[in-house]
């Protein structure tokens, strides 16, 4: 008689499998570019955020998780652009959480993940302010495409799906 694997073990094995996949370099760069576009979109809707970043123009920030690295350069406009990771960063942030599922769940609940921070203290303080004060209003952006009522329904449905997935993964 076959024994059923506990859901937690299946989730751990699936996470391990996904983490071992190595996407091609072009795909990683494309995803990083899309992330920069999204971040700049969110930042551009917050004038205080732009002003704070303008004071840090020319500075480099490197974010790393597991064996992935992303480096940004702060532009004179107070926005971000993906930078060549061959240069030294002024600030390095390494996210310590190894599990992607645990990382996403923590972020969804508003928790900052455990991380190691090295480099410029003032730049770190500015980024911390951005993380604490800048929020993306996805529903507002979606309403420009499909209208207020439909945007509200879509965001509510997405929240329910994410909550159900979170509860499913905990069992």
- Give the CATH class of 23-135: alpha beta
- What percent helix, strand, coil does the chain show, rounded to 5? 55, 15, 30
Structure confidence at residue 169 (pLDDT) = 61
Is the Cβ–Cβ distance between 16 and 44 less than 8 Å? no
Structure confidence at residue 49 (pLDDT) = 94
Q: What is the number of alpha carbons within 13 Å of residue 58 lying toward its C-beta?
A: 1
Mean pLDDT by 10 residues, the chain (171 residues): 63 69 85 93 93 95 89 95 88 87 75 89 92 81 83 83 70 57
Question: Which H/E stretch holds residue 171?
Answer: none
Instruction: Output DSSP code: residue 61.
Output: E
Instruction: Output DSSP code: residue 77.
Output: T
Q: Could you read off the pLDDT of 132-149 as tens digits, one per residue?
A: 888 877 778 778 888 888
Is the Cβ–Cβ distance between 54 and 76 less than 8 Å? yes
Q: Could you read off the pLDDT of 71-86 as tens digits, one per residue?
A: 999 999 999 999 987 7
Looking up tokens 């940004």 gives 72
SS3 168: helix
User: Rounded to 10 degrees, what is the CA torsion of 18, 24, 30, 34?
Assistant: 10
pTM over 0.85: no
Task: At 107, give phi and psi (nearest 5°).
Answer: -65, -40
Task: At 95, give phi and psi (nearest 5°).
Answer: -80, 125
Is the Cβ–Cβ distance between 156 and 143 less than 8 Å? no
């Amino acid at each position: 008689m076959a024994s059923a694997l506990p859901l937690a073990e299946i989730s751990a094995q699936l996470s391990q499998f996904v983490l071992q996949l190595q996407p091609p370099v072009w795909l990683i760069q494309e995803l990083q570019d899309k992330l920069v576009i999204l971040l700049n979109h969110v930042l551009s809707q917050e004038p205080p955020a732009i002003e704070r970043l303008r004071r840090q123009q020319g500075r480099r920030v490197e974010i790393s998780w597991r064996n992935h690295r992303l480096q940004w350069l702060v532009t004179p406009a107070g926005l971000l652009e993906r930078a060549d990771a061959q240069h030294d960063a002024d600030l390095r942030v390494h996210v310590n959480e190894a599990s992607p599922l645990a990382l996403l769940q923590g972020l969804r609940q508003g928790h900052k993940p455990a991380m190691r921070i090295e480099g410029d203290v003032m730049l770190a303080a500015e980024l911390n302010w951005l993380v604490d004060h800048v929020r993306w209003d996805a529903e507002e952006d979606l309403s420009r495409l499909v209208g207020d009522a439909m945007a509200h329904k879509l965001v509510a449905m997405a929240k329910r799906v994410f909550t159900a997935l979170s509860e499913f993964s905990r069992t």
